[in-house]
Amino acid sequence: MSVDVAEELRRVGLRATVPRMKVLSFFLDQKQRHFTAEDVCRQVADENLHISFGSIYRVLQQLVEAKILRSGTLHSTRIVYELDNTPDHDHAICVSCGQIEEFHDPLFDARQKEVGERLGFLVVGRQLVLHGYCVKCRAFAPGSTGNSGEQ
């Protein structure tokens, strides 16, 4: 499915400027889903088109506010961005190779609501990140017996 980048920007009330179109096109063209602002800047900044790092940072924030992108902290203090085109989900990150897996668990959703109600909060979102070892890295995890991480 091909997305008309200019039309998508107009749909959310943003003008189709060159920086916005370049940043959104970058996300739409990637197989990987999670990028830091620095990742985006390295790929999108263009001196010939006068797209500065500052412009890219502003565009990322505008796209988050327009609900085209979502942002979150997955790697301790580094904010990552991803297209906001999937249902709410959480992440599991391999501490060895950095692989990120997305998952959704209805039990987490229900528990979130229960905890929010108990605390008197109207929960509007959450960010759950599991840190561990992926299937490929489990054999090298501390305390692993070397048999695919089964202990």
Q: Last residue of some domain: 45, 60, 86?
A: 86
Provide the whole-model pTM.
0.70
Q: Last residue of some domain: 63, 86, 109?
A: 86
Query: What is the reported pLDDT for 77?
Result: 67
1 pLDDT above the threshold of 80: no
| Cα 18 from Cα 16, distance rounded (Å) | 7
Extract long-range pairs of 64-70: CB within 8 Å, 24+ residues apart.
66/12, 66/13, 66/14, 67/12, 68/8, 68/9, 68/12, 68/24, 69/27
Mean pLDDT score of the chain: 85
Domain of 149, in residue numbers: 87-151
- In 3D space, the residue among 3, 25, 50 whose CA is nearest the CA of residue 40 turns out to be 25
- Mapped onto helix, strand or coil, the DSSP state of residue 140 is helix
User: Quick one: pLDDT band at residue 3, thresholds 50, 70, 90?
Assistant: confident
Query: What is the reported pLDDT for 2?
Result: 57
Query: What is the reported pLDDT for 114?
Result: 92
- Find the CATH number of the domain harbouring 47: 1.10.10.10
**Residues 6 or more apart in contact with residue 11 via CB below 8 angstroms:** none
149 pLDDT above the threshold of 80: no
CB burial of residue 125 (10 Å; 0-12, 13-18, 19+): exposed
Considering the domain architecture, whether residues 149 and 109 belong to the same structural domain is answered as: yes
- The total number of residues written for the chain in this structure: 151
Considering the domain architecture, whether residues 75 and 7 belong to the same structural domain is answered as: yes
- Find the CATH number of the domain harbouring 116: 3.30.1490.190
Considering the domain architecture, whether residues 32 and 93 belong to the same structural domain is answered as: no
**pLDDT tens-digit series, residues 79-99:** 889 888 877 888 888 888 888
Considering the domain architecture, whether residues 103 and 72 belong to the same structural domain is answered as: no
Considering the domain architecture, whether residues 75 and 92 belong to the same structural domain is answered as: no
Q: Last residue of some domain: 86, 105, 124?
A: 86
